[in-house]
């Protein structure tokens, strides 16, 4: 065979030299990724974890050079696959679905709600002002009742007798009329919560207005039943699901106020960046509010029709309120590190 026939083509020779100079890092990275795929990164030592990004950057650099000088296609494909595998293990999510769900309920959600304490105070104030305002307006002029309550009355109007009103807050043997009202009320309150959150992006005033109007409709109904001597019965009936549903509405409005605050006062960030940052916090709280509304819907459809005694209703609603307060106040707090113990001799300057 002639010498010319044994000579390697220039491209093959260039690829071989390129591979020989860098193949050691590629093999080391591939070995580490194989270990990670078999047992996860928890088995890595600290030195191995520190070496991993170095090997990854070296391999990415090799891939970039191979593409720029048009080396053989097989080598480029190999490096692309190796870099993709390494990227997944270095920067991709490693938590399992169960861990993600656990962290959401035991850490992210209660911390997000606590972070909105100022906005929660504002949304609670708007709701309370609305309730008080609705009661006072109807006391001064009962004709305000119909405009304030609107479609939520469902027979609870000014012409209803005491017996008619009592029936609307009692249990139901068939469950059909009250179940239909429960679906309507849940749909309405869900819309209020979603709207209060969404309207935050246009300055916060619409959110405040919506919460006040929502509170006024609740206050008007409180006035109607109280004026017929059924005030405690109505509040007990409302408390079964209301402590969950109204808390969800307050959280939704607080999330909307947070968006508004960050848009108007972005600090050192651009408004776009501030909105994105606020969206993560408010979105987590809002997701929790929606889950609470689902729970409230279940309570509204089942417990409110079957728990008929006033004391039982107050107890049920009170337990739910204490549960939500305890959850949002206490769960997910960071533990403060304990100060190191100081011996008696050290405290008194002895050795």
Among left, alpha and beta (phi > 0; psi -120 to 50; other), residue 349 is left
Please tell me whether residue 208 adopts helix, strand or coil conformation: helix
* pLDDT over threshold 90, residue 48: no
**What span, in angstroms and rounded, lies between the C-alpha atoms of 199 and 193?**
10
* pLDDT over threshold 60, residue 170: yes
- Other Cβ atoms less than 10 A from the Cβ of 297: the count is 20
Most confident option among 131-140, 160-169, 341-350:
131-140
| Helix boundaries (H) for 69-169 | 73-91, 97-103, 109-115, 117-140, 145-149, 162-168
Residue owning tokens 């990164």: 41
* pLDDT over threshold 70, residue 234: yes
Quick: pLDDT tens for 267-310.
888 888 888 888 889 999 999 999 998 898 888 777 767 788 88
* pLDDT over threshold 60, residue 172: no
Q: Where are the chain's structural domains?
A: 14-91, 97-330
**What span, in angstroms and rounded, lies between the C-alpha atoms of 297 and 183?**
8
Q: What is the pLDDT of residue 247?
A: 94
Q: Would you give the DSSP letter of residue 301? A: I
Most confident option among 128-132, 167-171, 174-178, 345-349:
128-132
- Other Cβ atoms less than 10 A from the Cβ of 298: the count is 13
Burial 260-289 (b: 16+ CB within 10 A, else e): bbbbeebeeeeeeebbeebbebbebbbebb
């Amino acid at each position: 065979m002639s010498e010319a026939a044994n000579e390697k083509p220039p491209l093959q020779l260039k690829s071989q030299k390129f591979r020989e100079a860098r193949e050691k890092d590629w093999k080391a990275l591939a070995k580490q990724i194989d270990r990670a795929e078999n047992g996860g990164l928890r088995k890595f030592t600290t030195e191995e974890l520190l070496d991993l990004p170095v090997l990854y950057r070296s391999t990415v650099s090799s891939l970039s050079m191979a593409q720029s000088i048009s080396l053989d296609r097989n080598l480029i494909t190999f490096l692309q696959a190796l870099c993709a595998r390494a990227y997944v293990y270095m920067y991709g999510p490693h938590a399992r679905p169960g861990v993600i769900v656990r962290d959401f309920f035991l850490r992210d959600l209660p911390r997000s709600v606590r972070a909105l304490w100022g906005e929660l105070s504002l949304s609670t104030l708007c709701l309370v002002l609305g309730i008080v305002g609705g009661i006072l307006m109807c006391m001064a002029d009962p004709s305000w009742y119909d405009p304030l309550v609107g479609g939520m009355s469902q027979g609870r109007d000014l012409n209803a007798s005491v017996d008619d009103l009592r029936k609307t807050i009692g249990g139901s043997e068939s469950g059909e009329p009250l179940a239909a009202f429960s679906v309507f009320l849940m749909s309405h309150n869900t819309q209020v919560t979603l709207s209060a959150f969404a309207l935050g992006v246009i300055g916060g005033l619409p959110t405040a207005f919506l919460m006040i109007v929502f509170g006024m409709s609740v206050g008007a109904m409180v006035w109607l039943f109280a004026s017929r001597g059924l005030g405690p019965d109505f509040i007990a009936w409302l408390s079964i699901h209301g402590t969950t549903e109204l808390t969800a509405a307050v959280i939704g409005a607080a999330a909307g106020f947070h968006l508004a605050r960050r848009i108007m006062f972005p600090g050192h960030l651009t408004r776009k960046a501030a909105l994105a940052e606020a969206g993560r916090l408010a979105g987590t709280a809002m997701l929790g509010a929606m889950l609470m509304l689902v729970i409230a819907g279940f309570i509204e459809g089942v417990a409110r029709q079957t728990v008929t005694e006033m004391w039982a209703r107050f107890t049920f609603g009170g337990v739910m309120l204490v549960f939500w307060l305890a959850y949002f106040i206490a769960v997910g707090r960071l533990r403060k590190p304990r100060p190191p113990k100081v011996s008696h001799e050290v405290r008194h300057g002895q050795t």
